[in-house]
Amino acid sequence: MVRSFKPASLLEALHIRKDNDVMVYGGGSDVMIKYRSWSGTPAQFPKDVLYIGHLEELKSIDISDSEIAIGATVSYAQFLQDERIPIEYKRPIEQIGSVAIRNIGTFAGNICNASPAGDTLPMLYALNAKVIVMSTVGKREFAIENFITGPGSTCLKNDEILTHIIIPNKTYSHSYYCKVGTRKANAISKVSVFAIADVFKHQVTDIRIAIGSCGPTVIRLKDVEAKIIGSKMSDLDLMIESVLMMVDDKIVPIDDVRSTKIYRSKVALNLIEAFLIKELRQ
Average confidence (pLDDT) over 192-207: 97
Coil, strand or helix at 143: strand
**With 80 as the cut, is the pLDDT of residue 38 above it?**
no
Average confidence (pLDDT) over 259-281: 93
The structural domain count of the chain equals 2
Instruction: Among 141, 168, 195, identify where a domain stops.
Output: 168
Same domain, 113 and 237: no
pLDDT at 272: 97
**With 80 as the cut, is the pLDDT of residue 33 above it?**
no
- Give the closest residue to 161 by CA, choosing from 4, 7, 17, 53: 17
Same domain, 136 and 84: yes
Same domain, 139 and 254: no
Sheet holding 67-71, edge to edge: 61-63, 67-71, 161-168, 130-135, 138-143
Bigger pLDDT: 32 vs 114: 114
CATH code for position 245: 3.30.390.50
CATH code for position 62: 3.30.465.10
Same domain, 26 and 59: yes
Average confidence (pLDDT) over 209-231: 97
**Residue span of the structural domain in which 237 resides:** 174-281
User: Using an 8 Å Cβ cutoff, are 58 and 75 in contact?
Assistant: no
Question: Mean pLDDT over all residues of the chain?
Answer: 93
Bigger pLDDT: 32 vs 274: 274
- Give the closest residue to 271 by CA, choosing from 245, 244, 253: 244
User: Which residues is 180 bridged to in the sheet?
Assistant: 191
**With 70 as the cut, is the pLDDT of residue 112 above it?**
yes
pLDDT at 186: 63
Instruction: Among 148, 168, 188, identify where a domain stops.
Output: 168
Average confidence (pLDDT) over 253-261: 83
Same domain, 269 and 203: yes
Same domain, 35 and 102: yes
Same domain, 115 and 8: yes
Residue 27 identity (one-letter amino acid) = G
Same domain, 184 and 160: no
**With 70 as the cut, is the pLDDT of residue 218 above it?**
yes
Same domain, 124 and 25: yes
pLDDT at 254: 80
Average confidence (pLDDT) over 255-260: 82
Same domain, 89 and 160: yes
Query: Is the torsion defined by CA of 17, 156, 165, 272 positive or negative?
Result: negative
Same domain, 195 and 150: no
Instruction: Among 151, 168, 185, identify where a domain stops.
Output: 168
pLDDT at 184: 63
User: Using an 8 Å Cβ cutoff, are 162 and 175 in contact?
Assistant: no
Same domain, 106 and 50: yes
Residue 249: CB partners within 8 Å, gap ≥ 6?
none
**With 70 as the cut, is the pLDDT of residue 187 above it?**
no
- Cα separation, 90 vs 72, in Å, equals 17
